[in-house]
Structure 1
């Protein structure tokens, strides 16, 4: 009955999306008003992120039964977006009755199970691991259609779509799948690893691939810190700063984060909070000078704030991991070539033979073309020297493998002059006064509604 009542309320108050290119000189403003529902914030952020849009500011409020969000959004070139097709897609998707409707990019299980077999892998990170996995798949007559690989805290995870190289269809024979699993688990097993490697078939249905990778690495406890005997020591200044403090006046936990800005940062944070069963009631996101500031007032889905020091520490660790999984000081290499059976195995073998370590990769093929992106370091985790890159490019083909220019190391942002919360005294005084205070301080062109 509760579910039917929620549907009735949603029909009486359908979602409303306003996209404004006039109110702000340097960003498109997207305002989303809707009946509140757990997961709706992630849904909105996911839709925008999958369109390669960058959220530079966000103002979140979902107290009570209503969800209100205002986003400042630009494209990857730093401009407003005016494409009518993109605008219509955003409005149609966000105003849909199905909050779980995924966008069409970066998904697992989007194609029929008859078209590919989706495999999930977890294990210990080490140089050459992806090369070994690709070699096994090639030896077992599996063609990699597309894949996403992440590494973090000495752990590796991947979601891989494969087909039979002779038929081009999904692999369904149980005996053959068992053989693939045994071989891959053997490759994934690391020395002195207390956690067993895993190879599983993806669950049925449509699952966002990057969200699934967050879930896999969270389940693998990659947020637990490890001591590296060798490798590049990370500067403390480059690490994200995450705090969790009590807001006793209104029974919230206040999460504050400061880190280098990068694409999809907001998605990674909201994805993690949602999957950990926390609800964001209020929030502010602001990116400037290559640095991002985020602050959220949260409670667990049971309505309670964080209640113990152990829980607080776990939330901080998990949010740090969410920021770090995709953050990278690696060299970005892009391969564009005619697709063929064994191409990925050959490319990753060349990387391994030249002492390159793949920290993250996105593999895709379409219409006979392979377009793969690799983020690499040397085997110690340091930057790759120019001579090595020249050697790799000569072996693969100068025109096939391109070095993507780095946007540059972010200039060190000006130190914050205060450690106080972005919201300050948000919950002190009457709510209408506080909403006016946010509007005037943040520059948000839309007045936020009071409950």
Structure 2
């Protein structure tokens, strides 16, 4: 249910969950991404139908036009072959991977990449019509060579091909699974606090990052037979979705929950049991759950300069753009790329090779070198302003989706652009 609401880009400011004794009652306080009440009857009917069918276990993929908009983010696909990779993160990794795909004639329809704790996971969706099935073993071998080229001893790396189909796991949930399976979460929290705020039957964990502090407490409610997980952290987009993914993939069942957000802070409390009916009775299990929950809340936190790109789609486009980033000494900390028709739209979060903020002169170099006809929108957090550049090397472009996007940005930015909380 949370996935349905998240894919529709809806704001969940508060939620109450109760599913016990064979009955279910979940309450979501929802607004649209501009913070307004939902009034579109088509959207309301779609939510009712989709959530109802998902609870019945028979929900099938639906096309966006039935509600006059795209249902999923552009980088979430189920009708394309997916290449899944995990490896140690390093500068230029996405550039090398996309270059291999371009050289073998594979057209990338969408891609998403996350980095966390010096590890990287990416999913690239390949247009099946551009790929010769007989060449897939060679392609996988080439990608393995790329990952092995700078592979650190003692680490892990994987390349996997996932066939298209309605049973394909949701892209962002799959990224959580890939990084969790990579065991990168083991660095995600300190030892439990002593004293425990006066409680003797639970443990508190804190993890301070450059953005906020995450606080997690786990205790058992003996009289009800639940384990109670309390999470306090900074609020951000899709936080509820990420937490639910972590709990579900670790085979915990949520029986009751209360979620709220206020002043950029989030409070989540879950009453859970393992799917076999047991509570969290060992310190090892509590510590592992804490690590996984902190990792889940941090994976999507993007650091660095945000750069939105819109341009004409073509074979090798991702390879060319990421090559420009690499040649300017920039590393991708997070990326989401999708296509609609003949246009390609992507969002990149960038830092320099030393992990520092992108310098103005480097950004100016990007403006000059990026492909002609490309619309760039730079989100400058320090100034709170947006700036647009259209590359001039290809001449002045005519009407484009990128231009339409920018027109809407200018129209709404002064009134509506603010953090979207889930």
TM-score normalised according to structure 2 size? 0.78
- Which secondary structure state, in structure 2, belongs to the residue aligned with residue 404 of structure 1? strand
1:262 to 1:101, Cα distance in 2 relative to 1, 3 A: farther
Q: 1:178 aligns with which of 109, 125, 137?
A: 137
Q: 1:252 aligns with which of 219, 226, 229?
A: 226
- Which secondary structure state, in structure 2, belongs to the residue aligned with residue 141 of structure 1? coil
In the alignment, is residue 221 of structure 1 matched against residue 162 of structure 2? no
Greater CA deviation, 190-199 or 59-68?
Answer: 190-199
Structure 1 distance, partners of 2:176, 2:357, is: 26
- Which secondary structure state, in structure 2, belongs to the residue aligned with residue 134 of structure 1? helix
Structure 2 distance, partners of 1:294, 1:191, is: 38
- Which secondary structure state, in structure 2, belongs to the residue aligned with residue 223 of structure 1? helix
In the alignment, is residue 105 of structure 1 matched against residue 72 of structure 2? yes
Greater CA deviation, 260-269 or 387-396?
Answer: 387-396
Shift of 1:177: 1.1
Structure 1 distance, partners of 2:287, 2:331, is: 31
- Which secondary structure state, in structure 2, belongs to the residue aligned with residue 271 of structure 1? helix
In the TM superposition, what are the counterparts of 1:85-124 in structure 2 within 5 Å?
Answer: 85-96=42-53, 97-98=56-57, 101=60, 104-106=71-73, 110-111=78-79, 116-124=80-88
- Which secondary structure state, in structure 1, belongs to the residue aligned with residue 127 of structure 2? strand
> Structure 1 unaligned runs (5+)?
1-43, 228-232, 410-451
Structure 2 distance, partners of 1:132, 1:342, is: 12
Structure 1 distance, partners of 2:108, 2:101, is: 8
RMSD between aligned alpha carbons? 2.4
Q: Deviations over 1:127-158 (max 9, x none)?
A: 11001111111111111111111111111111
> Structure 2 unaligned runs (5+)?
63-70, 190-206, 385-422
In the alignment, is residue 402 of structure 1 matched against residue 377 of structure 2? yes
Contact kept? 2:83, 2:161, Cα under 8 Å:
yes
Shift of 1:98: 2.8
In the alignment, is residue 132 of structure 1 matched against residue 89 of structure 2? no
TM-score normalised according to structure 1 size? 0.73
Contact kept? 1:330, 1:383, Cα under 8 Å:
yes
Structure 1 distance, partners of 2:12, 2:85, is: 31
In the TM superposition, what are the counterparts of 1:228-243 in structure 2 within 5 Å?
Answer: 235=209, 238-243=212-217
Shift of 1:100: 5.2
Structure 1 distance, partners of 2:306, 2:373, is: 15
Q: Deviations over 1:390-440 (max 9, x none)?
A: 22122215952111354989xxxxxxxxxxxxxxxxxxxxxxxxxxxxxxx
Contact kept? 2:303, 2:333, Cα under 8 Å:
no
Q: What is residue 271 of structure 2 aligned with on the other side?
A: 297
In the TM superposition, what are the counterparts of 1:52-451 in structure 2 within 5 Å?
Answer: 52-96=9-53, 97-98=56-57, 101=60, 104-106=71-73, 110-111=78-79, 116-163=80-127, 168-173=129-134, 176-189=135-148, 190-202=150-162, 204=165, 205-225=167-187, 235=209, 238-396=212-370, 400-406=375-381
Q: How many residues align?
A: 352
Q: Deviations over 1:221-275 (max 9, x none)?
A: 1212189xxxxx9746724222212222222111111111111110000011011
